[in-house]
Chain A
């Protein structure tokens, strides 16, 4: 049953993505209402799918990369709906919803039941949840960065098109970027710490320097520098946008590493 809701969600997110992308090119109130409605319905079915899976799923104590990505996608939509509710920023959907769709499709392509680590301790849930929340923060920062660069480019080249009129002010995007990292970074830090503790319990070592762990630490270090640079020497605006986009590429690589590993352990 959860799978049905999952598939429905995926179809709805797909429709929302198409509609939100069309919104980038057109000025139509009806279209934005439509996009938002589908997204909200999709979010509802997604929530149902997640809850059902949590209650009935076989690995209630063993989160898989599938579940992690699905949760990630759900959180992204939640953040979008929250920001949308507060700032009426439809255009954010044109960037976040496609990302949520990609992560949901990736989740669908990955094995559902294989745990990321041996289920030894309850902290594994905490580890995955915290890491994913941190990743959501970085994803929003990434989206804000992309939007910043687009708006910056439009302003610099004086192209006052539909997208220009829809994108918010530069400093709003820069603030969104900063807030997302400020929130995401401690969450990821905690995620890594709990992961290390889980590792300690599972294998007896905190870190065993496998590729995805190494990447995760490199990424963490990178965001640490980005955050410190922003707060001390003014790495904001355009530079911050570029840095968060690079950082998010690191995050994606880490996730791909985890995914490959779980794929490997299936075969």
Chain B
């Protein structure tokens, strides 16, 4: 058994690739079921956000496991072949995979280090996997741990205090266009988590008037209530755009909702007052040609990335502390995984000696049929005592050595000495942990 992660993120793939692979929330369940239908994939969880598409899985065999997951990712979009994906993918296993998940959950791998959305997204991905029963013993433990590590990092470092999410970066940018946000109007297109968060940031920055539109009118009304805003019918939002100073688009639509002409018209109606358009949807919803419209300022998710990367330095110190916590917690999970593999050995050992003892005691007692029950018990006790003393030291050593680097060797030795059969498969992973971590460079086809 191996824990693996295969995926791509904003660090390895441009938005053009990510938007193709992104799995919409509505199709997550179906995708998970498809993932776990592959042979050799025991457990799986799919994390799909605007910045990353990652599969965490427990696979039987490393090589085929990697291949299957890559196939699965390529299957998500017809125009992407498995070969095209290769340069953008990363593959990790064992400790590295767990570390990766922890770093992602702690927002150490995010565009904006310390942003808070990713934890929610990890939780959601986990919930979905639980609903579709695609996780098991190992991933359940590891993902739960990831969530608790993220919480620990959040409370014990200042990483969250100074954090800015992509949507907060949008507010920062807005302040370079509008000196005072209080009399500005925000138009939210789409009621996704991102949109809600951005709305909250803008309101915290002083915006009082919010227009909301979504494809489902009920959503828009509910969201508008939440923000003391006004719901706008989806069909009309392009006409309402002129009244908005800040247009924030975050929908799941697969095409451009706002074109260059729409913005040109809005700017004209606004008598050339500047307009700030933020497209945080992947796939993008605002035509990139809007960039060429005078007095309209369009930023997509990669632009925001560029902006926020500069702030990273300031957060580096806190991130450093978080990294240490991650290392600690990964060690704790590794221990757990190792006890997971020693437990069956101990159980098997106990079972084996118990069987031998029972067989021998029965043989002897059959010949000593005349013995009174009290003395029969004495014989039995003696047998128990001998086997227990014989295996006692082995058990103690196994339990204490399992967390060390040689732990796997001890387990293997115990199994051989007591003829317990094949070692628990997860042992391989611990041994080969470092050597099997690969990057796209040395990945064989």
**Partner-B contacts on A (CB < 8 A):** 151, 155-156, 158, 160, 164, 167-172, 174-175, 233-239
Contacts and interface: CB of A to CB of B under 8 A. Distances in A.
A240 B180 CA distance: 20
Interface of B: 173, 175-180, 270-274, 291, 294-295, 297, 299, 303, 306-307, 310
Given A155-B176, A234-B272, A238-B272, 9 more contacts: A156-B291, A158-B306, A160-B307, A160-B310, A167-B176, A169-B176, A175-B179, A237-B273, A238-B295
B273 A236 contact: yes
Nearest to B294: A238
A151 B176 CA distance: 9
A155 B272 contact: no
B303 A158 contact: yes
B291 to A, nearest CB: 7
Given A235-B272, A236-B273, A169 B179 contact: yes
A175 B299 CA distance: 24
Contacts of B306: 158, 160
Contacts of B176: 151, 155, 164, 167, 169-170
Contacts of B297: 155-156
10 interchain residue pairs of minimum CB distance: A234-B271, A169-B179, A172-B179, A234-B272, A237-B295, A237-B272, A170-B177, A236-B272, A158-B303, A171-B178
B97 to A, nearest CB: 34
Contacts of A151: 176
A168 B297 CA distance: 16
16 contacts: A155-B176, A155-B177, A158-B303, A160-B306, A160-B307, A167-B176, A169-B175, A169-B176, A171-B180, A175-B179, A234-B270, A234-B272, A234-B273, A236-B271, A237-B274, A237-B294
B183 to A, nearest CB: 10
A239 B177 contact: no
A43 B353 CA distance: 98
A198 B191 CA distance: 68
A172 B177 CA distance: 8
Contacts of B307: 158, 160
Contacts of B180: 171
Nearest to B291: A156
Nearest to A151: B176
A258 to B, nearest CB: 35
A25 to B, nearest CB: 16
A131 B152 CA distance: 67
A168 B179 contact: yes
Contacts of A233: 271
Contacts of B274: 170-171, 174, 237
Contacts of B177: 155, 169-171
Contacts of A171: 177-180, 273-274
Given A164-B176, A170-B176, A158 B299 contact: yes
Contacts of B271: 233-234, 236
Nearest to B303: A158
A158 B291 CA distance: 11
A168 B176 CA distance: 6
B272 A239 contact: yes
Contacts of A239: 272
Nearest to B295: A237
B196 to A, nearest CB: 25
A19 to B, nearest CB: 25
Centre residue among A164, A167, A170 by max chain B CB count within 10 A: A170
Contacts of A167: 176
A24 B306 CA distance: 21
Contacts of A164: 176
Contacts of B295: 237-238
Nearest to B309: A160
A250 to B, nearest CB: 23
B297 to A, nearest CB: 5
Contacts of A175: 179
Nearest to A164: B176
Nearest to B302: A158
Given A158-B306, A160-B306, A237-B272, A169 B299 contact: no
Contacts of A236: 271-273
Nearest to A174: B274
B246 to A, nearest CB: 12
Contacts of B272: 234-239
B296 to A, nearest CB: 9
A160 B304 CA distance: 11
B207 to A, nearest CB: 14
A153 to B, nearest CB: 11
A86 B443 CA distance: 61
A14 B294 CA distance: 37
A239 B270 CA distance: 14
A167 B179 CA distance: 11
Contacts of A170: 176-178, 274
A32 B192 CA distance: 44
Contacts of A172: 179
A164 B310 CA distance: 12
Contacts of B294: 237-238
Contacts of B178: 169-171
A99 to B, nearest CB: 23
A158 B176 CA distance: 12
Contacts of B270: 234
B432 to A, nearest CB: 44
A41 B346 CA distance: 84
A169 B172 CA distance: 11
B160 to A, nearest CB: 23
Contacts of B310: 160
A169 B252 CA distance: 31
B271 to A, nearest CB: 3
A90 to B, nearest CB: 16
A174 B271 CA distance: 13
Contacts of A155: 173, 176-177, 297
Centre residue among B173, B176, B306 by max chain A CB count within 10 A: B176
A156 B297 CA distance: 6
